[in-house]
Amino acid sequence: MIPPPCLASPSRYDRPDFYRRCGRWGLKLPMISLGLWQNFGGDDVLENSRATARRAFDLGITHFDLANNYGPPYGSAEETFGHLMASDFRPYRDEMIISTKAGYDMWPGPYGNYGSRKYLLASLDQSLRRMGLSYVDIFYHHRPDPETPLEETAGALAQAVRSGRALYTGISNYPPELTSRMVAILRDLGTPCLIHQPKYNMFERTPEQGLFEVLSTEGIGCIAFSPLAQGMLTNRYLSGIPADSRAARNRRFLKPEQITPEIVHKARALNELAKARGQSLSQMALSWVLRQPAVTSALIGASSPTQVEENVAAANNTKFDSGELERIDQILSPNTSHPL
Ligand SMILES: NC(=O)c1ccc[n+]([C@@H]2O[C@H](COP(=O)([O-])OP(=O)(O)OC[C@H]3O[C@@H](n4cnc5c(N)ncnc54)[C@H](OP(=O)(O)O)[C@@H]3O)[C@@H](O)[C@H]2O)c1
């Protein structure tokens, strides 16, 4: 039976401290945001995607992150989101921050990838059509393009904002130096960069080497993607690879061979520490990302409403004492030997 249209929970904004200012800008984002990279494609079960997104919104998650090629197939996550807008979320559009991106491969030929003005603006028009929206809140360049001048890419992002097709600009996967240059160009164009989207989790700490400093200095927000390392920082793989997990189902982005004995050993040790803090492993992993002052929001994926519920509760405790942080560093250290 198809559930009736969304009547959002009246308690969804009961925790005002769940929202953090995006850098120095006026926009606030929820501490936990939901990404539609996986589990919302044409190959997934629409009613599960719908239940997951609705539960997220009921729990105060106002931000939904997409990209042109999320699926599979490419484009289908935006189409799913378009269905959800029509079936549930249309009355709540002004309560939602919806982002999309262009930068990776989307359509064949020289104009469907990377960072040209031609690609970015055509892609944004396609995304708006698929989602049934007149504008997105944030339009990102998904990754740096080694061949297109930054001025051209920035000009396309600025044009997206000036034309009313996006409210804010963002960049993703840009290293610190390129971030500084892009931020300066966007500022000069009068369409400042709102936010950066890097990968950041306990197993991937590269943003600590310069990026957070740039973002803090510039007053730019940060939304950390894959904060659970695609599930490796949850209870998913503590004892084997379940048949319904990403590592078993989606062998393109998380391969079973990535679940190494060393990863499992570290995850088990972190799980013990999480228990001592009164959290699950996924909650502690999210709290750890959110402890970082530069981070505005942790951008999770979820394959069920229950995962969203568990993860949102991470926001209740983002404080760590120095002993806990030291223990985490020790567990994560490549120099710590693990019984394999
Ligand atoms: N900018 C970029 O280049 C880029 C790249 C990648 C992702 N992203 C964005 O980041 C979002 C999140 O990425 P991600 O999906 O890799 O994030 P993630 O939060 O690291 O991993 C999500 C996966 O972890 C598992 N999980 C989540 N909560 C769980 C819980 N409480 N207990 C057990 N397992 C749990 C689920 O896997 P199962 O399916 O196994 O249940 C879920 O699909 C994407 O949707 C996208 O919006 C951006």
Residue 96 lies in a domain: yes
Residue 3 lies in a domain: no
Atom 43 of ligand 1: nearest residue by CA position: 302
Mean pLDDT by 10 residues, the chain (340 residues): 74 97 98 98 96 98 98 97 97 98 98 98 98 98 98 98 98 98 98 98 98 98 98 97 93 92 97 98 98 98 98 97 98 74
Single pTM value for the model: 0.97
Pocket test for ligand 1, best of 226, 271, 279 (most atoms within 8 A of CB): 226
pLDDT at 337: 61
Distance 225 CA to ligand 1 centre (A): 8
Give residue 258's Cα distance to chain centre: 21
The DSSP letter of residue 272 is H
Closest ligand 1 atom to 232 CA: 24
The DSSP letter of residue 4 is P
Report whether residue 225 contacts ligand 1, using a CB cutoff of 6 Å.
yes
Atom 11 of ligand 1: nearest residue by CA position: 35
Q: CB of 317 within 8 A of CB of 277?
A: yes
CATH of the domain at 198: 3.20.20.100
Instruction: Return contacts of 330-338, CB within 8 angstroms, 24+ apart.
Output: 331/266, 331/269, 331/270, 331/273, 332/202, 332/203, 332/205, 332/266, 338/261, 338/262, 338/265, 338/266
What are residue 64's DSSP bridge partners? Answer: 34, 98
Residue 298 lies in a domain: yes
Residue 275 lies in a domain: no
Residue 276 lies in a domain: no
Q: Tokens standing for 254?
A: 């998380």
pLDDT at 74: 97
- Residues 288 and 118: their CA atoms lie apart, in Å, by 39
pLDDT at 1: 53
Residue 247 lies in a domain: no
- Residues 200 and 208: their CA atoms lie apart, in Å, by 9
Report whether residue 226 contacts ligand 1, using a CB cutoff of 6 Å.
yes
Q: CB of 195 within 8 A of CB of 170?
A: yes
Phi, psi of 106 (to 5 degrees): -130, -50
Q: What is the domain extent for residue 210? A: 16-236+285-308
What b/e sequence results for 317-337 when a residue is b if at least 16 CB atoms lie within 10 Å of its CB, and e otherwise? ebebeeebeebbeebeeeeee
Report whether residue 49 contacts ligand 1, using a CB cutoff of 6 Å.
no
Report whether residue 99 contacts ligand 1, using a CB cutoff of 6 Å.
no
Number of domains in the chain: 1
Residue 181 lies in a domain: yes
Give residue 216's Cα distance to chain centre: 19
pLDDT at 140: 99
Give the residue among 78, 150, 153 at the shortest CA–CA distance from 121: 153
What are residue 195's DSSP bridge partners? Answer: 170, 221
Residue 243 lies in a domain: no
pLDDT at 250: 76
SS3 332: helix
pLDDT at 77: 98
pLDDT at 340: 47
- Residues 251 and 111: their CA atoms lie apart, in Å, by 28
Distance 293 CA to ligand 1 centre (A): 22
Report whether residue 69 contacts ligand 1, using a CB cutoff of 6 Å.
no
